[in-house]
Amino acid sequence: MSGRLDVRSVAEEPGRAWSHAWTAIVDDTIRSALADHQSQSRRGGVVSLIALGSYARRGLCPGSDIDLLILHDGWPGPDLEGLVQAVCYPLWDAGLSVGHAVRTVKEAVRSTGDRIDTATALTDRRLVAGSSGLADDLSARMAKWLRRNGGAFATQIVEADADRQRRHGGTAGALEPDLKSGAGGLRDLHSMQWAGAILLGEAGLDPLVSAGYLGADERARLAGAGDQLLAARCALHMVGDKSVRNTLRLDLQDEVAVRLGMGDGDDLLREVGLATRTIAHLHARTWPVMLEDATSGRRRRRPSPRPVDHGLVLIDGLIEVTPGAGLADDRSLGLRAVAAAAEHGTVVGRRSAMVLRREVATAGSLEWDEDSRGALLRMLRSGRRGMAAMRDADYLGLWDAYLPEWHKVRGRPQRNPLHTFDLDTHALQAVAWLADVVSGQLDPAHADIFSEMEDPDGVVLGTWLHDVGKAWPGDHSESGEIIGRQWMLHMGFSGKRADQIAKLILLHLVLPDVATQRDIDDPDEIERVALMVGDVETLDGLYLLGIADSRATGRAAWSEWKDLLISRLHGKVRRLLVGQVGVLAGPSPADLVVRSARHFDGDVGLLRSTVGGLPERYLRHAGPEQVAAHCSLLESFSAGIRAAVRPGPVDSVVTLTVVATDRHGLFADVVGVLASNRIEVEQARAFTHDDGTVLDWFVVTPPEEVDWERVIADLEAMERNEHEVAEAVERRERSRDVRPPVLARPVPIRVSTYDRGDVTRVEVRGPDSPGVLYRVSRVLSDLGTELTGALVATLGPEVRDAFFVSGELPPLEELEAALEPALLDTPAVA
């Protein structure tokens, strides 16, 4: 019998047909098992075998649990045990996971009060075999339970949905979507079906159409989106192992796409993303009304409409179009409806959305006017409060109607672990973050910068379109500059604003790139950025845009330390642009540094000897407080190595200063000790005193619990040749507690060099690992160069490190060949 339960016996093409076929096989197996048991046993009474959950909905996937309720009319225990074994053994033998419960009808209904997942499972039920009488009794009692507890049940579903989306993703369009539990996933679709049972006594989408909560077209769109997600989930089960059941991981997307007959993972992710949008949009629009009806009654008195704009009213918490208003007479109506919804923190009502969507499709394209431009800006300025309404603009088809070639942007995947969302979802996230930034939530200074700008709306528009060039070939900043200018002019904005926004798009990566990969204490770098940016208005716009963009991208793209670097760069370039004297005058005079450092208890004689014996560039990097601390450390040094830890410039980092006798490879060894102790280096500086003493300092991010005494002891043992740094780093990599992220494609390795006079900047890009900074530093030291500093930028799984070295480097091809093993030499995780 178990041979009939072979997943391979079902057609290879996953989807609704596959699920139906597999469900039918499971049904036949259960019916056959029950018939065999009943023919062999004369004991027992009436029994019903009820399918629950996805099994009841005929939505099984290859790795789905078979949820089964065995209803009986009071069988004795031994008989029930024999029945369970008879029914479940064929399923267990086939390697299936079976969730089963054995209850009377009363016990089953009573269990709905224990857990919400039990109540939802019983709401989705289907008789597979046995007595229809018991099944009918269960249905009648469940209907009574829903009438009595429907309001509380609906509230529980809403709370469970919110908790689920907090854990699995609350915004559709994710890079690695959870097909079941994420925003717009299958669970959101199921929630709407359960609402039908609560309000109308029948689970499913069709009752919602009959009752006016959904239109027939919306029902068809929901069903189609659900089928797409079900097909993707089935294919995911076919290609992944048991640990991958719901999350469409990057490394599996291409294989899942092939299984579904699609070109590649980009095609798959776009289809899945648009499907989740459909479900999320209709769920967000429909649920508030259904919840209100479930808790207050469908016959409740509806509030009176409140006018909010010409042709628009707020009713029942939703924006509705007044009778007689339409796009034929007012081309701005759709955007104004979305803007009004955004300003009120709500969405467009279902009836109005259906009408507007149909009218937008009929119009084909819409011309911009002053009202539509104003509505666009009001919508974008609403920030996080208006996110749901901004997604309405997409659902209504407004962007396709207003902007040529918007279809290239819509739902476009960004398949790298750095980003969290697809292209246009990321744009809306960036706009929402910008509203937070310019309101002063992160820093009151941001609000002041924004309020003093000549054209603050230009920053809003530039943030919305900053990545649009990714939908066209070539460098996305350069492509985006062209498209952004064209779209601004197409919208009817002035040429001046179009040029400014195009400039913001072209330069939107300058500040973060320079801050994390250049020496921002180098006057030449500050001057280069100032010449590139050109004016304070652009600089301030790039600064605010950059902060919003990094946060919208995801945690891998920003940190307190990175924020500080960008803020410092912005401040230095701004002072130069407004004409403040002395910005590019180079290092402070030694006497001035000595006088300033005296305020931190520095001995004047020691200060002068320290400052005088260190390279001139030292004064460009060290402030008076640092100089005083360094002098104290140098004063007590005689031989070996000494180290001290001080608070860093932001809470998340600390500064480790190391003093030692100069030797070859010291810099790399210190980095290795830090790596072996799970300490991440953000920035490093290295200086050699005239007396041969090395002064290095490292800005680092330590783990929550770090034993600095052990770290310093490791450094001292290293200097006594009693600590094998390479072995310690390898042990750290083998025992790492955070596994490398899965990737759609390998991280490319790139090496480039830039001659800065007596110092060469070596930029290295490649896959991240705990020991990569140590290995690269070791290779550069072995090539005979002297490391004078390093800037470390980690973006998801990729490192983008810059090393500053003095001494002669080999030709670039030889340097690449020497560094490639250091970037790839990552021990397997234990």
Tell me the residue range of the domain where 658 lies: 637-830
**Are 218 and 282 contacting, i.e. CB atoms less than 8 angstroms apart?**
yes
Which residue matches tokens 């990545």?
A: 467
Q: Which of 128, 125, 126, 123 is nearest to 157 (CA)?
A: 123
Which of 104, 130, 156 is the last residue in one of the domains? 130
For residue 510, pLDDT over 80 is answered with yes
* Residues sharing a CB contact under 8 Å with residue 170, sequence separation 6 or more, in sequence order: 183
582-591 average pLDDT score:
55
List Cβ neighbours of 54 (8 Å cut-off, separation of 6 or more): 60, 61, 64, 65, 67, 124
Which ranges constitute the DSSP H helices of 240-309? Answer: 250-259, 265-296
Same domain for 165 and 124: no
Distances (CA, A) of 265 to 342, 614, 744, 790: 33, 55, 8, 36
> In this predicted model, what pLDDT tens digit does every residue of 17-42 receive, in sequence order?
889 999 999 999 999 999 988 888 76
The token pair that represents 785 in the structure block? 């160069």
Q: Look at residue 805 and give its three-state secondary structure.
A: strand
Residues 94, 183 within the same domain? no
**Residues 115 and 170 placed together within one structural domain of the fold:** no
Same domain, 772 and 672: yes
> What does the pLDDT read at residue 9?
64
Is residue 629 assigned to a domain?
no
Residues 116 and 152 in one domain: no
651 with 733, same domain?
Answer: yes
Express as a percent the part of the chain with pLDDT over 90.
Answer: 54
- pLDDT, one tens digit per residue, over 690-744 is 888 888 889 999 998 899 999 999 999 999 999 999 999 988 888 765 555 555 5
CATH code for position 167? 1.20.120.330
Handedness of CA 282, 284, 289, 290 (dihedral sign): positive
Whether 588 is covered by a domain: the verdict is: no
Rounded Cα gap, residues 48 and 34, in angstroms: 10
Residues 95 and 160 reside in one and the same domain: no
Of residues 770, 826, 776, 771, the one with CA closest to residue 805: 776
Per-residue confidence (pLDDT) for residue 713, from 0 to 100: 94
Examine the pLDDT at 813 and tell me if it is beyond 70: yes
Same domain, 658 and 795: yes
Strands, sheet with 47-52, edge to edge from the N-terminal-most edge strand: 98-103, 66-72, 47-52, 125-130
| % of the chain with per-residue pLDDT over 70 | 92
What are the backbone angles phi and psi of residue 452, rounded to the nearest 5°? -90, 0
**64 lies in the same domain as 152:** no
Could you say which DSSP state residue 169 is in? -
Q: Which residues pair with 760 in a beta bridge?
A: 755, 805
Same domain, 444 and 524: yes
Q: What gap in Å lies between CA 533 and CA 569, rounded to an integer?
A: 12
In a domain? residue 106:
yes
Band of pLDDT at residue 669, cut at 50, 70 and 90: very high
Strands (E), 292-383: 306-309, 312-315, 318-321
The four Cα atoms 51, 56, 58, 60 give a dihedral, to 10 degrees, of -70
Average the pLDDT over 167-185 and give the result.
88
Q: How large is the average pLDDT for residues 262-283? A: 92
pLDDT higher than 90, residue 80: no
Give 88-140 pLDDT, tens digit per residue: 999 998 888 999 999 999 999 998 876 788 888 899 999 999 999 999 999 99
CATH of the domain at 123: 3.30.460.10
On whether residue 809 sits in a domain, the answer given is: yes
Residue 190 has pLDDT above 80, yes or no: yes
Q: What is the pLDDT of residue 598?
A: 62
Residue partners of 450: CB distance under 8 A and separation at least 6:
437, 438, 456, 459, 540, 544
Residue with tokens 């830039």: 754
Q: Which of 517-538 are b and which e, b meaning 16 or more Cβ less than 10 Å from the residue's Cβ?
A: bbbbbbbebbeebbeebeebbb
| β-bridge partners, 804 | 761, 789
* CA nearest to 793, candidates 557, 495, 541: 557
CA dist., res. 133 & res. 338, Å (int): 51
Higher pLDDT, 598 or 283: 283
Give residue 416's pLDDT.
Answer: 73
Give the integer Cα–Cα distance in Å for 393 and 728: 55
pLDDT band at 415 (very low <50, low <70, confident <90, very high): confident
Nearest to 415 by CA among 407, 423, 405, 427: 423
Lowest mean pLDDT among 211-225, 431-445, 504-518, 611-625: 611-625
Which residue type occupies 770?
A: P
Residue where a domain stops, chosen among 536, 553, 582: 582
DSSP string, 368-380: --HHHHHHHHHHH
200 in any annotated domain: yes
Domain-located, residue 490: yes
pLDDT tops 80 at residue 559 = yes
701-to-173, 569, 650, 728, 768 alpha-carbon distances in Å: 32, 21, 10, 19, 16
Q: Strand 794-795 vs strand 750-756: parallel, antiparallel, or unpaired?
A: unpaired
Let me know if residue 614 belongs to a domain.
no
Whole-prediction pTM: 0.86
- Residue 716 CB partners (closer than 8 Å, separation 6+): 640, 641
* Contact between residue 242 and residue 310 where contact means Cβ atoms under 8 Å apart: no
Mean pLDDT of the chain, nearest integer: 88
pLDDT, tens digit, 9 for 90 and up, residues 527-537: 999 999 999 99
3-class DSSP assignment, residue 68: strand
In a domain, 383, yes or no: no
pLDDT in tens, 734-781: 876 555 555 556 677 888 888 877 889 999 988 888 889 999 999 999
How far CA 746 is from CA of 251, 314, 741, in Å, comes to 10, 51, 11
For 93, 658, 689, 724, the CA distances from 716, given in Å and listed in that order, are 61, 11, 20, 12
Q: How many domains does the chain have?
A: 4
Does residue 826 register a pLDDT over 70? Answer: no
Greatest CA separation found in the chain?
A: 105
Answer for the pair 503, 461: CB distance below 8 angstroms, yes or no: no
657 with 805, same domain: the answer is: yes
Q: Which two tokens stand for residue 246?
A: 């719901």
Q: How far apart are CA 400 and CA 378, in angstroms?
A: 19
Domain boundary among 564, 582, 600: 582
The span from the CA of 496 to the CA of 485, in Å, is: 10
287 in the same domain as 167: yes
Asked whether 9 and 25 are in contact (CB, 8 A), the reply is yes
